[in-house]
């Protein structure tokens, strides 16, 4: 694999380090399957020839024990609380880079040098405007439409406007499509918000940074000069960095699966947005705010803590613990600091929901029950608080997630297209329907 500049992107090799012998106890037949090892992480059993050798499939609902691809982009060790992008720790990237540097890293394999950074920023900046006819799409939606419904529609519609970047076999067109998606997503997201509140669309400004531009297009109006607070812009930038990619999750796998059929990149990213929309995936920070509303006041926290500890009570504390990270979410510490910086610059001290959140955080970090079970506040807990404090409605939370994740999706899509081992996705199944029955004509059915 090569970057757009023709230089190789570092990628280790998958090595066979042995075999695993599988014995069919019903026949006594044994099969040796290759045991594979990547650069780090668990080894994998290569089952590609299992069906040909045995006539059996593997059964793995949710693909929780199945590697669907090789990837050199993101690595997660949930037990140790590690998240790496192209080998760099997320903590180092969040503290020392801006979002577009991370985009360059994910997309092209390396952090940019000063000239590359300048060139990349210019490219993205000059792609931020959307076709004027695309803005008319928004008027076809109801004002109360969920912003994610709008984003699914307008992102997929990009393929109707940019025919010069839909040939997935052309590396140059793939890169142009990637640049367009990264650049235009903030514009389209801000337009979705503006349409929902009945305000005029704000055109992007080339003198602003990526995060500043998004905040300007979202909250600025033509009536007056709107200045972006640098603390809020940096907080927005960090939120984007911390959500840029997260390995083979549901939405990323959806993008890869759609892309395996050679669908155009705009359609693939629209499919990722649709998958992210699900509350089990992208709605976690929105769920945090809904939980805070349900608790209602600091005085009621002990009641809900008691319920959270009761296995028979359906109530769960949202934003605590993580399906992947069995230790501390490495992104949470960064987001916690950013959260306090935002609350401080906005002078927010007495907001009821935020008071509840801060008390919950204190309890979770000190209560033996939560400490022993490693139910620490995660990135969604803090990002939900930050976004609410900045003035975003909860319906926009998942849109911001999609905006940030676009670079991860398009990087994963591009890697898949360039991988000669990839085939069209076609999972198998265990059929549990009727094995076959005779057809009965309509006039003889009782």
Question: Are both 163 and 268 inside the same structural domain?
Answer: yes
Residue 4 confidence (pLDDT): 46
Q: Is residue 443 part of a domain?
A: no
- Per residue, the 3-state secondary structure of 69-138, as one string, reads CCCCCEEEECCCCEEEECCEEHHHHHHHCCHHHHHHHHHHCCCCCHHHHHHHHHHHHCCCCCCHHHHHHH
Question: Are both 38 and 175 inside the same structural domain?
Answer: no
Q: Is 319 left (phi over 0), alpha (psi -120 to 50) or beta?
A: left
Q: Is residue 5 part of a domain?
A: no
State the 10-residue block means of pLDDT for the chain, 446 residues long.
55 87 90 90 89 90 89 90 94 97 97 97 96 94 94 96 93 96 98 96 96 97 92 96 94 96 97 90 79 90 91 87 76 88 87 81 85 83 88 93 97 95 91 94 93
Question: Are both 180 and 229 inside the same structural domain?
Answer: yes
CB contact set of 133 (below 8 Å; sequence gap of 6+): 161
Question: Are both 180 and 56 inside the same structural domain?
Answer: no
Q: Is residue 399 part of a domain?
A: yes
Residue 380 among the catalytic residues:
yes
Cα 257 versus chain centre, distance = 15
Per-residue tokens: 411: 């990087």
Q: State the total domains in the chain.
A: 2
Residue 322 among the catalytic residues:
yes
Residue 41 confidence (pLDDT): 86
Q: Is residue 432 part of a domain?
A: no
Give the closest residue to 86 by CA, choosing from 97, 70, 71.
Answer: 71
Question: Are both 341 and 411 inside the same structural domain?
Answer: yes
pTM value is 0.90
The CATH number that applies at residue 33 is 2.20.28.60
> Which one of 104, 179, 243, 322 is the catalytic residue?
322
Question: Are both 51 and 196 inside the same structural domain?
Answer: no
**Which structural domain, as residue segments, surrounds residue 58?**
15-67
């Amino acid at each position: 694999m090569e970057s757009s500049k023709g230089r190789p992107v570092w990628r280790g090799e998958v090595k066979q380090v042995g075999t695993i012998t599988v014995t069919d106890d019903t026949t006594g037949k044994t099969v040796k399957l290759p045991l594979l090892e990547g650069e780090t992480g668990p080894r994998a059993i290569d089952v590609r020839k299992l069906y040909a050798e045995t006539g059996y499939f593997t059964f793995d609902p949710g693909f929780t024990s199945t590697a669907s691809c090789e990837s050199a982009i993101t690595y997660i060790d949930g037990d140790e609380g590690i998240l790496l992008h192209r080998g760099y720790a997320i903590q180092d990237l969040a503290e020392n880079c801006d979002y577009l540097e991370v985009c360059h890293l994910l997309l092209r394999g390396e952090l940019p040098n000063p000239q590359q950074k300048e060139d990349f920023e210019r490219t993205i900046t000059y792609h931020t405007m959307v076709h004027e006819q695309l803005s008319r799409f928004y008027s076809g939606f109801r004002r109360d439409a969920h912003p994610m419904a709008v984003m699914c529609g307008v992102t997929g519609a990009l393929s109707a406007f940019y025919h010069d970047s839909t040939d997935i076999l052309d590396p140059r067109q793939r890169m142009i499509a990637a640049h367009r998606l990264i650049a235009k997503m903030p514009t389209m997201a801000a337009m979705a918000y503006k349409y929902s509140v009945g305000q005029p669309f704000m055109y992007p400004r080339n003198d602003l940074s990526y995060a500043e531009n998004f905040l300007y297009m979202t909250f600025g109006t033509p009536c007056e000069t709107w200045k972006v607070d640098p603390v809020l812009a940096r907080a927005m930038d960090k939120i984007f960095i911390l959500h840029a990619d997260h390995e083979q999750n549901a939405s990323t796998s959806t993008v890869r699966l759609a892309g395996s059929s050679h669908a155009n990149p705009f359609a693939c990213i629209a499919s990722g947005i649709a998958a992210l929309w699900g509350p089990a995936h992208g709605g976690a920070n929105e769920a945090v705010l809904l939980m805070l509303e349900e608790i209602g006041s600091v005085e009621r926290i002990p009641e809900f803590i008691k319920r959270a500890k009761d296995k028979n009570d359906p109530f769960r504390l949202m934003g605590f613990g993580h399906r992947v990270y069995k230790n501390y979410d490495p992104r949470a510490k960064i987001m916690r600091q950013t959260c306090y910086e935002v609350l401080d610059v906005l002078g927010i001290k007495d907001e009821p929901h935020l008071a509840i959140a801060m008390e919950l955080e204190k309890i979770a970090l000190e209560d033996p029950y939560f400490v022993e079970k490693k139910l620490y506040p995660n990135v969604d807990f803090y990002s939900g608080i930050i976004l609410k404090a900045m003035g975003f409605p909860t319906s926009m939370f998942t849109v911001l997630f999609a905006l940030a994740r676009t670079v991860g999706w398009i990087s994963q899509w591009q890697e898949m297209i360039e991988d000669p081992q990839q085939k069209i996705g076609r999972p198998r199944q265990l059929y549990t329907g009727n094995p076959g029955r005779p057809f009965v004509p309509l006039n003889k059915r009782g």
